[in-house]
Amino acid sequence: MKIRATGRSGLRRSRLAAVVGAVALVSGVVAGTVQAAPVTTTPSTTAPSTSAAPPAAKPAGQALTEQDLVDTINADGKAKAVAESGSASGSSSGSASSSASDTVGYGPEMTAWTAAYVHGLSNPNVAPPGTNDWKCKPTAAHPRPVIAVHGTFLSAYNTYAYMSKPIKDAGFCVFTFNYGKSDLLQGGGIGALLPGTYGTGDIPTSAKQLGIFVDRVLAATGASKVDLIGHSQGGSMSSYYTKYENGASKVQNLIALGATFHGTDLDGIAGLGRAINNIGIDVLGIAQLLVGQSGIQQTIGSDFIKKLNANGDTVSGIEYTVIGTRNDEITTPWDSTFLKAGPGATVHNITLQDGCGDDGSDHLTMMYSPRALSIVLRALDPAANPNLKCTFNPWLIGGGGRL
């Protein structure tokens, strides 16, 4: 068994990552005492609900139909649980139960992930600014709506509070939702106890939820395709959607930031755990109590990762822009996020620090990096956004090019 050496910098990042987790837990406890910025409570104009009544409960072991999944995402913004039989890939425990929901109201634009995260603790269902205008119609210049997909333990708001409005201001119709809500008993892990924590449920089930949302957006806008932006799990789950949920014909661009396309070893910890698991000691089942089903599924060598890449990294007809940061402490090795183009696909693998050593963004703050935003805008509309920005962006606590 080979264990990758991380060196002092890797150990330091791992320890700081642990501190981030501890801060998050403490923030959850004291969320009620934090005075957050006010929420715009006027609900966004939503697409018509596909069903006014909640779905009937399925007998144990019976598979969900597409209509059942449609019924779980309603315009009133209330999540209704989706139950499905089966266990999470890569783990010996946990069901595939999770739910998806629309956002309710809007949160303020933010330039730092930490501020957005704290705001989201008190306002777990708000949308990032500039999104979910269901009356928005694509133009000839920007014919495809953009769907922003968050990652594990995150939400639409705390992931896109910085990027969403500039994308909207650039002339795009931008949509987002919260997916993969799974509580502790459903296998979502301890982190699922925090408000505004999504993306913890079974990833293939989340891909079905994304498929339903894509269809809603296409129906509302009249477009034939969408562009997807996915952070972390949002990238790998979006890729799964294109491969196994008939999404390939509905997606033109897939833009990923820190995506777990090939899994993560979490600086060697996950790889060691899987090696122990493979000799018959179920440490991954225990670990799932901490990181949830989706966390286990994103480790290197999981059944999910094997299936995701079984027929190559890409799908014909899709253009991929993949952004990685050398400071990523979650998706590791950091360059494992990059893809190899298969037949009929185009891949642009971009390291955030190439040509911009001042950008210190890590896994979370890359979503608050002016350079990352400029790369996303160029991928969406190269002619209008040919130049990339380069500004200082601190690791962990920074965003918007400043502390």
Q: What is the CATH number of the domain that holds 365?
A: 3.40.50.1820
pLDDT digits (tens, 9 = 90+) for 120-166: 999 999 999 999 999 999 999 999 999 999 999 999 999 999 999 99
CA-atom Rg of the chain in angstroms? 19
pLDDT over threshold 70, residue 382? yes
Cβ atoms of 48 and 75 closer than 8 Å: yes
Stronger pLDDT, 243 or 50, i.e. the higher one? 243
Cα 30 from Cα 11, distance rounded (Å): 29
pLDDT tens digit sequence for 28-47: 322 332 333 333 333 343 44
Mean pLDDT for the stretch of residues 220-225: 98
CB burial of residue 23 (10 Å; 0-12, 13-18, 19+): middle
Q: Is residue 22 part of a domain?
A: no
Domain enclosing residue 304, as ranges = 103-380
β-pairing verdict for 174-176 and 146-149: parallel
Closest CA to 364 of 152, 104, 106: 152
Number of separate domains in the chain:
1
Does residue 34 belong to any structural domain of this protein?
Answer: no
Token pair 């890590």 in the structure block, residue: 362
- Chain position carrying tokens 């949830």: 292
- The pLDDT of residue 155 is 97
DSSP 191: G
**Is 0.75 surpassed by the pTM of this model?**
yes
C-alpha to C-alpha distances, 143 to 75, 221, 252, nearest whole angstrom: 24, 10, 11
Tell me what the pLDDT averaged over the chain comes to. Answer: 78
In a 10 Å sphere around its CB, with 0-12 CB exposed, 13-18 middle and 19+ buried, how is residue 249 labelled? exposed
Residue that wins the pLDDT comparison between 22 and 331: 331
Q: Answer whether residue 369 is part of any domain.
A: yes
Q: How far is CA 108 from the centre of its chain?
A: 20
CA distance 156 to 223: 22
Q: What is the largest CA-CA distance in the chain?
A: 57
Q: Within a domain: residue 399?
A: no
Q: Is 209 helix (H, G, I), strand (E, B) or coil?
A: helix
Q: Is 271 helix (H, G, I), strand (E, B) or coil?
A: helix
Instruction: Decide which of 88 and 307 is more confident.
Output: 307
Q: Is residue 328 part of a domain?
A: yes
User: Does residue 215 lie in a domain region?
Assistant: yes
Domain assignment present for residue 19? The answer is no
Name the least confident of 54-68, 104-118, 239-253, 304-318: 54-68
Which range has the worst mean pLDDT, 61-70, 211-220, 305-314? 61-70
Per the domain annotation, does 177 fall within a domain?
yes
Q: Tell me, what's the pLDDT at 93?
A: 34
Please report which confidence band the pLDDT of residue 171 belongs to, taking 50, 70 and 90 as the band edges.
Answer: very high
Q: What are the beta bridge partners of residue 147?
A: 175, 228
Task: State the Cα–Cα distance between residues 381 and 321, nearest whole angstrom.
Answer: 12
Please tell me the predicted confidence (pLDDT) of residue 56. Answer: 41
CB atoms within 10 A of CB 223: 19
On whether the CB atoms of residues 376 and 350 are closer than 8 A, the answer is: no
Backbone angles phi, psi at 18, to 5 degrees: -65, -40
CA distances from 266 to 136, 153, 258, 274 (A): 40, 16, 13, 12
Rounded to whole angstroms, how far apart are CA atoms 84 and 373? 37
